[in-house]
Every structure is written in C-alpha cells, then in structure tokens.
Amino acid sequence: MKKIAFVLLVSILVLPLNGCFGSGEDSAEVSYEEYIGVLKSLGGIKVSQNATHILQTDEGDILYVYSDVYDLDDEEYLGNKIQISGEVTEASEKGKDVVNIMEISIIEEIADESGDITIETYSSKDLGFSWDVMSNWEVEEGDGYALFTLPMYEAEEDEEDKTYETSTTMELSPVSDLDNDYFVVKVFTMETEMELAEWLAEYSPQTAAIAVASSVGEDSLSSLKVVSELEDVETYYVYRTGDVVYEVSHHNFDIDNRTYFRNLFYDSLYTFKVIPLDGSADTTDESEDSADDESSEKNYDEAISYIEASVSEIVAGADGVSQYEFVDPYYVYVNYVDGSDEGRVLLKYGIGPGFDYEVLATFRSGTYTDWELSSGTDAASGLPKALIKAGDTTAIDIMEGYRYFESGPYEFTIQYPAGWYYSGGGGHYSFSDSADGDELIGLDVLDFSIAVSSGSSIDLANGKDGKTISSGNVQGVYAERDDNSAYYLEGTSEYYDIIVNMAGSIVD
C-alpha cells in the first residue's frame, strides 16, 4: 500500500488568567495520509457516522472514505483509480480508518466494459413476487425457486487456485457448484397457518435461534433476518400473509468484493414486492388445505358491527369509521375519523366468540398517495381487498396488487398499482412508481363522448365500452363515461396491461 504520513505539530501560547504572561505548549497531532486505489460506493451500508464510499487498493485493502469537498458519486471519480490525501478522523468498529478526502487526482480511468447494462424488473406469478435486477444477471427458474447468478466483479487469473471458506451450517440453495455470487428466492407453503417465527422454529430450529426481526421492501413486509457465522450467507424469511413464506438469500463467494455484491442484494431487496399468484406454483412444501373456498369468506357485517362499537378503543379519540377494506382471511384496513382529521389502521382480527384484534400498522394521509405507512408492518399490502363504505352493504372488489382512489370532483373511483403514487387535478391525474418520478400513466377526463373517438373496440372488466389506440411506443385506452365525456388513459406499451386494468376498474 502506498502511504505517506505527515505529522503537524501546533504550538499554542496560553495566557494565564492572573494577567501575567507565561508560555506553555500544547501539542496536537493530526495525521494525514495518501492512498491509491479504486473508488466504490458503499450503497447505503452504514459502517460509521461519516463513511459513504470505499477505496480498494491494489493490495486488496479496503478503506472507508468520505469527503466534505468532493462529490464522490461523480462519474469522474467513482469506479476509477484515484490518488487521495486526507485526514484520518476516526477508526470504525470494524477496525478500518475512515478518511476525510481533501485532495483527489485521477490515476487511471477504468473503461466500462459492461455494455448497455440496465435495471429491469423481474416478476413471477408462479412464485408471486417481483424485484429489480440487472440485465446481465443469469436467471434460472425451478420448482418453487428463482436463482439469480451475478457476473464476477473482476476476472481473476488464478481463480481456480482460490479456496473460499464458506458456511456449511446453512444449506439454503438448490445448487451448490457455483463460484459466482448469487441470490436465490424460494417459496414455502405452510402445512398449517402460523406466525412466521413459529414456522421458522419448526422448519429450522438452528436458524430460528439466530434470527432477528426485520422488514423487506418498500411495503415493509414482515421478515426475519439471518446471517451465517462467516457472513457469507445473508437470508431474509419474508411473510406474505396467509400460509406463504419467502426465503431470500445472498450467497457470497467473492469475499474481496463482498460489500459490492451485498449492496446489489440490498438494492434488489428494497424493491421486493408480492404480486398476484396464479395458483399453479409448485412450492417447496405442499399445502393440503382441503377447505372449500367459501370457508375463508368472512362475515363482514359482524366484523363491521364489532369495529363500529369499539373504534374509540381501537384508536383513542376516533369518532367513527368511514371505510373498511377486508383482506381474507383475517385482515381489515379501517379508515377512521377523529374530529376533522382522518387516519387508517390495519387490524388482524378474529370472531367467535367475541371479537379479538391486533393493530398491525397505522397510516397517515399521504402527500403523493392516499396513505403512507406511519408505524408497524403493512402485512396485507397488495393483496385482494373487499372495500365497504360505512353505512353501505355493497363490497367493491379491489384487485390484488392494486389500491383504491376516489376523485371527488369527478365522482369516480379507479384502482392503480399498490406501490405507485398519484398527483393532479383539474381533469388530469398522473400515476408514477416514485413520489418525484416521471408520469408513467396519465388519466384525463375528456369533454367528448367515446363514440366520436378513434380506435379499436376492447372489452373492459367493468362492462364499459372501451377503445384502444397506439402511436409508436405509446398506448392509449378510452373508457366510456357519459354522452358528453370519456376517460382516457395513456402510457408506453410496457404498461399496457396496467392501463387496461385501470380502465376496467373505473366506477362512476
């Protein structure tokens, strides 16, 4: 490692309080160091109060770094070989110095040989999940699992001579002959429905003993985190609701670049979402639930009566309930009124005899979407719902993976993807997958009838007349409203199925 150390001695004259001049020396030693290596991002992993990046030297040493002067995410520095000098301000708990970079010079710009590598969304209705992956990952699908093999970070000339020390106590993968890092997602179906911790204790008592509570994805899905003794395998057991559990793991073989690969795992894990199952998945454990579908249906009227009678106990100060969203078999979202304010809670409940409940999550009014998670775990996120307005007996079915939006000025409701955000007004609404992102699908209330619009006729799920048009990569769908107006939804072709689902969900 190339390193140059400098010592700065500072002499300070001290003026005594008695008014007489005297002298004394208080020496403060400040250490500056110089390193050469490749700058990489930490990707959000917290290793100290300040560190944001790592510097990997030619000798393979890892230094934690940050800078108050330079933007280390600038492509001029990130991924390139640089020379830095700066002040060593602290030592982390992992025994690494943290360097505050004060000067940078570029030694070598490392060419990007990755080609057009992009972020893509992988989804499987057989397994019931989606998450973001890189386009150069290899994907293998099997009975009850999906395997994602990552390319080596750097080619090693003597790779065949390397010996890796990895865990033998956790056999979590359907394969065992890989040298590349890989992620694997497996789906299990419980034989009998139980809590996640209880299931894990039965499935693997040794694993359950070291598991810690965690959450996964933007929807904060309840999970248990397990890290192997050698830290080469990190696993999350994710509870889907009902009797389904996901086992999501990162298996690390390239120990020198573990931080890099673990960051990729965290990036994908943050985007993990449950999506509708098509009912044909061959899961790792077979469920032999022979109950009729009707047995899972709840007596919503009875549950509503109990909740209305005890809403002030469920939420202190609540005056009443405005809406229910039931998720079979035992969840319900309750929108309540507290004076002029509104709130929302998610309950897990049971009936007979009496009414038992547990508050799993609370929500506040959102800026870009109707509700934002305030506390707890949104365990029923994205699952099919039956919406019932207070004082009404008619249930509105909400599609799995969608949520409900109501436009007061135009007196219609529509369903849109559960993880998306909306904004707008004045006859135009924008829907996006991020709070500050570009519009993915736009909805307009037009002042002319669908009868005078162009396009090919399509059938919509709500029974409304529909027409579809396209221009290049842009797809549009008209839906009837009345004799003098129509709805129009538009987006790129990759969102066409969502556009049709949204148009087919409109109720006015």
What pLDDT digit, counting tens, does each position of 198-241 carry? 999 998 888 899 998 888 887 778 889 999 888 889 999 998 87
If we measure between CA atoms, which residue out of 69, 64, 61 comes closest to residue 45? 64
pLDDT at position 327: 86
Cα 227 from Cα 160, distance rounded (Å): 27
Could you tell me the pLDDT band of residue 55, with boundaries at 50, 70 and 90?
confident
Percent helix, strand and coil across the chain, each to the nearest 5: 15, 45, 45
CA 345 from centre of chain: 21
Could you tell me the pLDDT band of residue 91, with boundaries at 50, 70 and 90?
low
Residues in CB range of 198: below 8 A, 6 or more apart: none
pLDDT at position 154: 59
Tokens of 367: 């800026």
Cα 165 from Cα 163, distance rounded (Å): 7
Cα 501 from Cα 461, distance rounded (Å): 8
Domains in the chain: ranges and CATH: 6-108 (2.40.50.200), 119-156+170-274 (3.40.1000.10), 291-395 (no CATH), 399-508 (3.40.1000.10)
Burial 468-492 (b: 16+ CB within 10 A, else e): beeeeeebbbbbbbeeebbbbbbbe
Average pLDDT over residues 119-139: 89
Could you tell me the pLDDT band of residue 49, with boundaries at 50, 70 and 90?
low
Checking DSSP bridges between strand 129-134 and strand 273-274, what pairing results, if any?
Answer: antiparallel
| 169 exposure class (CB count in 10 Å sphere: 0-12, 13-18, 19+) | exposed
Tokens of 103: 């000067």
For the whole model, what pTM was predicted? Answer: 0.40
Count how many Cα atoms sit within 13 Å of the Cα of residue 261 in the half-sphere of its side chain. 26
